[in-house]
Amino acid sequence: MNIVLIGYRGTGKSVLSRLLAKQLKRERYGLDEWIVQEAGKPVPEIVKLWGWGRFREIEREVVKKVSARARDSVIDCGGGIVLDMRNVADLKRHGRIVLLTAETEKILRRIGHDTNRPPLKEGLSFEEEQRQILADREPKYRAAADCVFDTTDITPQETAKTVLGHFKKEGWL
Protein backbone atom coordinates (compact mmCIF):
# COMPACT_ATOMS: atom_id res chain seq x y z
CA MET A 1 0.00 0.00 0.00
CA ASN A 2 1.25 3.48 -0.93
CA ILE A 3 1.60 6.26 1.60
CA VAL A 4 0.33 9.40 -0.13
CA LEU A 5 1.17 12.76 1.43
CA ILE A 6 -1.05 15.76 0.75
CA GLY A 7 -1.35 19.20 2.29
CA TYR A 8 -0.47 22.81 1.72
CA ARG A 9 3.02 24.11 1.04
CA GLY A 10 5.15 24.23 4.15
CA THR A 11 3.48 21.38 6.00
CA GLY A 12 6.47 19.06 5.55
CA LYS A 13 5.42 16.69 2.76
CA SER A 14 8.75 16.56 0.93
CA VAL A 15 10.90 16.13 4.04
CA LEU A 16 8.54 13.52 5.47
CA SER A 17 8.34 11.61 2.19
CA ARG A 18 12.12 11.25 2.13
CA LEU A 19 12.22 10.11 5.76
CA LEU A 20 9.42 7.57 5.30
CA ALA A 21 10.89 6.19 2.08
CA LYS A 22 14.28 5.75 3.74
CA GLN A 23 12.90 4.18 6.92
CA LEU A 24 10.60 1.81 5.03
CA LYS A 25 13.09 1.17 2.21
CA ARG A 26 10.44 2.17 -0.31
CA GLU A 27 10.54 4.03 -3.57
CA ARG A 28 9.61 7.71 -3.34
CA TYR A 29 7.69 9.62 -5.98
CA GLY A 30 7.82 13.42 -5.82
CA LEU A 31 5.01 14.49 -8.13
CA ASP A 32 6.29 18.03 -8.61
CA GLU A 33 9.67 16.57 -9.58
CA TRP A 34 7.92 14.36 -12.14
CA ILE A 35 6.01 17.38 -13.49
CA VAL A 36 9.28 19.28 -13.97
CA GLN A 37 10.77 16.26 -15.73
CA GLU A 38 7.71 15.82 -17.98
CA ALA A 39 7.61 19.49 -18.94
CA GLY A 40 11.37 19.93 -19.14
CA LYS A 41 11.01 23.18 -17.23
CA PRO A 42 10.86 24.30 -13.58
CA VAL A 43 7.43 25.04 -12.12
CA PRO A 44 7.71 28.87 -12.30
CA GLU A 45 8.60 28.63 -15.98
CA ILE A 46 5.74 26.20 -16.71
CA VAL A 47 3.29 28.63 -15.13
CA LYS A 48 4.83 31.70 -16.78
CA LEU A 49 4.77 30.13 -20.25
CA TRP A 50 1.57 28.10 -20.13
CA GLY A 51 -0.38 29.12 -17.01
CA TRP A 52 -1.71 27.18 -14.03
CA GLY A 53 -4.28 25.41 -16.21
CA ARG A 54 -1.56 23.69 -18.22
CA PHE A 55 0.37 22.91 -15.03
CA ARG A 56 -2.72 21.13 -13.68
CA GLU A 57 -3.07 19.16 -16.93
CA ILE A 58 0.53 17.96 -16.66
CA GLU A 59 -0.05 17.19 -12.98
CA ARG A 60 -3.08 15.09 -13.91
CA GLU A 61 -1.06 13.06 -16.42
CA VAL A 62 1.71 12.52 -13.87
CA VAL A 63 -0.80 11.33 -11.25
CA LYS A 64 -2.19 8.81 -13.75
CA LYS A 65 1.30 7.49 -14.52
CA VAL A 66 2.48 7.29 -10.92
CA SER A 67 -0.81 5.77 -9.72
CA ALA A 68 -0.56 3.04 -12.33
CA ARG A 69 3.03 2.29 -11.40
CA ALA A 70 3.55 2.87 -7.67
CA ARG A 71 3.07 0.00 -5.22
CA ASP A 72 4.27 0.07 -1.62
CA SER A 73 5.78 3.49 -2.28
CA VAL A 74 5.72 6.95 -0.73
CA ILE A 75 4.11 9.62 -2.89
CA ASP A 76 4.71 13.32 -2.19
CA CYS A 77 1.96 15.39 -3.83
CA GLY A 78 1.89 19.06 -4.66
CA GLY A 79 -0.43 21.28 -2.64
CA GLY A 80 -3.02 21.56 -5.41
CA ILE A 81 -3.46 17.84 -6.05
CA VAL A 82 -6.95 17.93 -4.49
CA LEU A 83 -8.24 20.45 -7.02
CA ASP A 84 -9.04 17.52 -9.32
CA MET A 85 -10.86 14.75 -7.49
CA ARG A 86 -9.79 12.27 -10.20
CA ASN A 87 -6.30 12.65 -8.75
CA VAL A 88 -7.57 11.72 -5.30
CA ALA A 89 -9.45 8.69 -6.66
CA ASP A 90 -6.37 7.47 -8.54
CA LEU A 91 -4.10 7.91 -5.52
CA LYS A 92 -6.54 6.16 -3.16
CA ARG A 93 -6.79 3.13 -5.42
CA HIS A 94 -3.51 1.71 -4.07
CA GLY A 95 -2.85 3.94 -1.10
CA ARG A 96 -3.88 5.76 2.01
CA ILE A 97 -3.88 9.53 1.98
CA VAL A 98 -2.11 11.34 4.81
CA LEU A 99 -3.01 15.00 5.22
CA LEU A 100 -0.30 17.12 6.82
CA THR A 101 -1.48 20.37 8.39
CA ALA A 102 0.12 23.23 10.29
CA GLU A 103 -1.03 26.48 11.79
CA THR A 104 -1.23 29.23 9.19
CA GLU A 105 1.35 31.43 10.91
CA LYS A 106 3.85 28.56 10.92
CA ILE A 107 3.19 27.84 7.23
CA LEU A 108 3.74 31.51 6.37
CA ARG A 109 7.09 31.47 8.20
CA ARG A 110 8.14 28.22 6.51
CA ILE A 111 7.32 29.30 2.95
CA GLY A 112 7.98 33.03 3.17
CA HIS A 113 11.24 32.83 1.24
CA ASP A 114 10.25 30.15 -1.27
CA THR A 115 10.67 31.54 -4.77
CA ASN A 116 9.89 28.24 -6.48
CA ARG A 117 6.15 28.91 -6.69
CA PRO A 118 4.60 31.73 -8.67
CA PRO A 119 1.46 33.37 -7.29
CA LEU A 120 -1.78 31.40 -7.62
CA LYS A 121 -3.91 34.55 -7.42
CA GLU A 122 -2.93 37.97 -8.70
CA GLY A 123 -3.62 41.20 -6.87
CA LEU A 124 -3.20 39.85 -3.34
CA SER A 125 -0.35 40.21 -0.90
CA PHE A 126 1.63 37.04 -0.23
CA GLU A 127 -0.08 36.54 3.13
CA GLU A 128 -3.58 37.26 1.79
CA GLU A 129 -3.05 34.78 -1.04
CA GLN A 130 -1.85 32.02 1.28
CA ARG A 131 -4.73 32.50 3.70
CA GLN A 132 -7.30 32.49 0.89
CA ILE A 133 -5.86 29.40 -0.84
CA LEU A 134 -5.64 27.54 2.48
CA ALA A 135 -9.28 28.35 3.26
CA ASP A 136 -10.37 27.27 -0.23
CA ARG A 137 -8.48 23.97 -0.13
CA GLU A 138 -9.04 22.92 3.48
CA PRO A 139 -12.38 21.15 2.84
CA LYS A 140 -10.92 19.33 -0.16
CA TYR A 141 -7.91 18.19 1.84
CA ARG A 142 -10.12 16.93 4.67
CA ALA A 143 -12.45 15.11 2.27
CA ALA A 144 -9.52 13.31 0.63
CA ALA A 145 -7.67 12.35 3.82
CA ASP A 146 -7.64 8.93 5.45
CA CYS A 147 -5.76 10.42 8.41
CA VAL A 148 -4.53 13.87 9.48
CA PHE A 149 -1.34 14.92 11.30
CA ASP A 150 -0.48 18.42 12.50
CA THR A 151 3.19 19.29 11.94
CA THR A 152 3.11 22.73 13.57
CA ASP A 153 5.21 21.95 16.62
CA ILE A 154 6.85 18.60 15.94
CA THR A 155 9.93 17.61 14.00
CA PRO A 156 9.78 15.66 10.76
CA GLN A 157 11.29 12.69 12.62
CA GLU A 158 8.49 12.81 15.20
CA THR A 159 5.90 13.10 12.43
CA ALA A 160 7.38 10.07 10.68
CA LYS A 161 7.22 8.05 13.89
CA THR A 162 3.60 9.08 14.46
CA VAL A 163 2.53 8.32 10.88
CA LEU A 164 4.23 4.91 10.92
CA GLY A 165 2.66 4.10 14.28
CA HIS A 166 -0.76 4.98 12.94
CA PHE A 167 -0.27 2.92 9.78
CA LYS A 168 0.83 -0.10 11.83
CA LYS A 169 -2.10 0.28 14.25
CA GLU A 170 -4.56 0.42 11.34
CA GLY A 171 -2.96 -2.61 9.66
CA TRP A 172 -1.94 -0.57 6.62
CA LEU A 173 1.72 -1.58 6.85
pLDDT in tens, 113-169: 776 677 777 788 889 999 999 999 999 999 999 999 999 999 999 999 999 999 999
> Measured between alpha carbons, how far is 112 from 41 in angstroms, rounded to an integer?
23
Whether the CA torsion 53, 28, 95, 149 is positive or negative: it is negative
pLDDT in tens, 56-81: 999 999 999 999 999 999 999 999 99
What's the CATH class of domain 2-168?
Answer: alpha beta
The pTM of this model reads: 0.95
> Measured between alpha carbons, how far is 9 from 134 in angstroms, rounded to an integer?
9
Whether 76 and 49 have beta carbons less than 8 Å apart is answered as no
The residues spanned by each domain of the chain are 2-168
Q: What is the mean pLDDT of residues 5-32?
A: 97
Give alpha helix (H) positions in the chain. 13-24, 31-39, 43-69, 85-93, 104-111, 126-144, 156-170
What's residue 18's pLDDT?
A: 98
